[in-house]
Structure 1
Amino acid sequence: MFGDLMGMMGKLKETQEKVEATKKRLDTVLIDENSSDNLLKITLTANREIKSIQIDDSLLEDKEQLEDYLILTLNKAIAKATQINEAEVSAVAKEGMPNIPGMDLFK
């Protein structure tokens, strides 16, 4: 019984290390999102850290329009990054979890 428990604990620790390594790797995965007319481009990591924002000069003339562009484009980029992040992390976590009946945490 204790051997099984120790084995499971070791596997959980190994899985936790793999999840952390995956999160670190996601810092290098870049997502680019453009506004529909390409006047604004945002690049962020799959861990949702903004790396760059490129704004066309024409947007600098209208503050409200620029704010709207930023909100829409940032939200789209964050949604993409979140989807990638969650898929990658949950795949690694699910792979390393012991098969315990009734504990389907990552379906």
Structure 2
Amino acid sequence: MAKPNLSGLLGQVQKMQDQLKKAQEELEAIDVEGSSGGGMVTVFATANREIKRIQIDPEVVDPEEVEMLEDLIVAAVNQALEKAEQAANEHLNQTTGGMLSNLPGGFKIPGL
């Protein structure tokens, strides 16, 4: 029975860790945006799920309708974060050749 090549396996694991670290850094450069209210509120974020900026059309700012503005902001933020997650998953799958999507039991790597 052949012995497993542990040094080769460890080398592959180290290479994958390096690729993942690089991919995570690259996520900061991938921009996404989410909007609501027909573009009245737009949220700009990175694929790393960092909100960079929120743009609000002055027409939607009404002291009598603060709750509506809050709802629009929440919807736009949620859409931006959803797009960020999709962009991150696509980028990480490309970087790792789809290895992360094949992990058993839907295992997730923390921070990814």
TM-score (norm 2): 0.77
C-alpha deviation, 1:96, in angstroms: 6.6
Is the contact made by 2:37 and 2:72 (CA closer than 8 Å) also made in structure 1? no
Encode CA deviations 1:79-103: one digit per residue, 9 max, x unaligned: 1111111232244345678xxxxxx
Overall identity of the aligned pairs, in %: 27
Match of 2:69 in 1: 66
Amino acid across the alignment from 1:83: Q
Is the contact made by 2:33 and 2:44 (CA closer than 8 Å) also made in structure 1? yes
Alpha-carbon distance in 2 for matches of 1:70, 1:19: 32
Match of 1:24 in 2: 25
Secondary structure of the residue aligned to 2:61 is helix
Is the contact made by 1:35 and 1:69 (CA closer than 8 Å) also made in structure 2? yes
2:88 paired residue among 85, 90, 94: 85
Match of 1:105 in 2: 103
User: Is structure 2 residue 53 aligned with structure 1 residue 55?
Assistant: no
Match of 1:42 in 2: 43
Encode CA deviations 1:35-79: one digit per residue, 9 max, x unaligned: 241111111000110011000112221210111001111111111
Structure 2 unaligned residues grouped into runs of 5+? 107-112
Amino acid across the alignment from 2:57: D
Larger RCO, structure (CA 8 Å, separation 6 or more): 1
Over 3 Å counting, the alpha-carbon distance change for 1:44 and 1:89 in structure 2 is same
Is the contact made by 2:93 and 2:99 (CA closer than 8 Å) also made in structure 1? no
C-alpha deviation, 1:32, in angstroms: 1.8
Alpha-carbon distance in 2 for matches of 1:105, 1:85: 17
TM-score (norm 1): 0.80
